[in-house]
């Protein structure tokens, strides 16, 4: 079992980064119990659970948080939980009577994890937003894209998941460690705008040292350099090159059969000419042919794979980097641990699935379970 075995986490249904944080904790062995709406929707569209991969490893109970009895039910669970995760707008949990002040009174050791875009305070805190808006405010979105083109949204990976869910998961784990020492819980205020900014820490250093241009596509890591870029191959596919270090760049030129004296690495004025030569070179062979050319080399080369191709790459297969859960091939739990190996304990639950067994595991006896059911807690008849 994973390193968080025995940790009980109460998660309130939401979308995106908060469920991702819950998935990370569940992957690591935590017992994550989700309070689902009795009939939920995701952005107004009913979502089937079997492909809701961020729900993997969890169990579910259902509860209408707006009922008069909901608060009593939730606090019965909070008293037994080690951590709580919620992804509501600031103030929503307080209006429901489930805010951190009351929760910590009921359970002083509780870690109360809060996931928002803008944070719990500040002028934008009550405003709606999505990943693209949060990373826009950090400078990150402005930095991504090719020269002369508009900024390019990098899916919703930086704000929602890297700067959001992963930050919350890290924060909750840190607070759990501290609570084990102090006996005191606390609130974790994870904001996507701050988590995304944190991911860009290195670039602030470059900028401060005058080593980074705020013009897109003019730097070594943003497609400005010919030796850190993506190139199309003869078959219309692509390969990636990241030959930053001098010795790796020399290896790249050798594999491309280009004369090193004609391609000085750091003469920026010649980068456009070098890039054009690389474009021509890579279009001469298919992606598979280039994989053979670069096999065993240190030229910092990798084929650009699609999501469906990635699980079948020999390296990913060798490390068992993907697992299949409920017919969905998906990334395996990470990172690896030498002694307490993480795993996906169960597929995504339907609403209420596994809830009755979870209540027993959390220490509720039959009479207490019956009372919770009378107050509106449900588990759909599935254990």
The 3-state secondary structure of the chain, one letter per residue:
CCCCCCCEEEEECCCCHHHHHHHHHHHCCCEEEEEECCCCCECCECCCHHHCHHHCCCEEEECCCCCCCHHHHHHHHHCCCCEEEECCCCCHHHHCCCCHHHHHHHCCCCEEEEEECCCCCCCCCCCCCCHHHHHHCCCHHHHCCCCCCCCCCCCCHHHHHHHHHHHHHHHHHHHHHHHHHHCCCEEEEEEHHHHHHHHCHHHHHHHHCCCCCCCCCCCCCCCCCCCEEEEECCCCCEEEEECCCHHHHHHHHHHHCCCHHHCCCCCHHHHHHHHHHHHHHHCCCCHHHHHHHCCCCCCCEEECCCCCCHHHCHHHHHCCCEEEECCEEEECCCCCCCCCCCCCCCCCCCCCCEHHHHHHHCCCCHHHHHHHHHCCCECCCCC
Residue 40 is predicted with a pLDDT of: 56
Residue 380 is predicted with a pLDDT of: 75
Q: Which ranges of the chain have pLDDT less than 70?
A: 40-46, 381-383
Q: What is the pTM of this model?
A: 0.95
Active site residues: 130, 160
Write the pLDDT tens digit of every residue in 67-86: 999 999 999 999 999 999 99
**Fold (topology level) of 8-199+322-374:** Rossmann fold (3.40.50)
Give start-end residues of each CATH 3.40.50.10540 domain in the chain.
8-199+322-374
Write the pLDDT tens digit of every residue in 294-343: 999 999 999 999 999 999 999 999 999 999 999 899 999 999 999 999 99
Q: Which CATH architecture best describes the domain 228-232+238-303?
A: 2-Layer Sandwich (3.30)
Give start-end residues of each CATH 3.30.1540.10 domain in the chain.
228-232+238-303
């Amino acid at each position: 079992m994973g390193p968080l075995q025995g940790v009980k986490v109460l998660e309130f249904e939401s979308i995106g980064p908060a469920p991702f944080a819950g998935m990370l904790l569940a992957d690591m062995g935590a017992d994550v119990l989700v309070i689902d709406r009795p009939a939920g929707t995701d952005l107004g569209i009913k979502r089937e659970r079997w492909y809701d991969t961020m729900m993997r490893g969890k169990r579910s109970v259902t509860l209408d948080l707006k009922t008069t009895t909901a608060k009593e039910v939730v606090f019965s669970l909070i008293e037994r939980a080690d951590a709580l995760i919620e992804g509501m707008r600031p103030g929503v949990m307080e209006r429901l009577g489930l805010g951190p002040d009351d929760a910590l009174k009921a359970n002083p050791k509780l870690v109360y994890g809060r996931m928002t875009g803008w944070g719990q305070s500040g002028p934008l805190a009550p405003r709606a937003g999505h990943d693209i808006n949060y990373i826009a405010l950090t400078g990150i979105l402005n930095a991504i894209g090719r020269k002369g083109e508009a900024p390019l949204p990098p899916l919703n990976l930086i704000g929602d998941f890297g700067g959001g869910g992963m930050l919350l998961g890290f924060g909750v784990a840190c607070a759990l460690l501290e609570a084990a020492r102090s006996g005191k819980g606390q609130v974790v205020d994870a904001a996507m705008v701050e988590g995304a900014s944190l991911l860009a820490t290195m670039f602030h250093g470059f900028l401060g040292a005058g080593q980074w241009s705020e013009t897109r596509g003019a730097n070594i890591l943003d497609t400005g350099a010919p030796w850190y870029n993506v190139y199309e191959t003869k078959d219309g596919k692509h390969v990636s090159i990241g030959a930053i270090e001098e010795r790796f760049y020399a290896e790249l030129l050798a594999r491309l059969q280009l004369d090193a004296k004609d391609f000085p690495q750091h003469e920026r004025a010649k980068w456009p000419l070098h890039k054009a030569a690389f474009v021509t070179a890579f279009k001469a062979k298919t992606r598979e042919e280039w994989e053979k050319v670069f096999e065993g080399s240190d030229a910092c080369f990798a084929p650009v794979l699609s999501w469906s191709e990635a699980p079948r790459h020999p390296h990913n297969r060798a490390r068992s980097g993907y697992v299949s859960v409920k017919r969905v091939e998906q990334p395996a739990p990470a990172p690896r641990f030498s002694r307490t190996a993480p795993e996906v304990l169960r597929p995504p639950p339907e609403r209420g699935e596994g809830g009755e067994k979870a209540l027993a595991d959390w220490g509720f006896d039959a009479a207490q379970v019956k009372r919770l059911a009378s107050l509106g807690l449900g588990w759909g008849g599935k254990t």
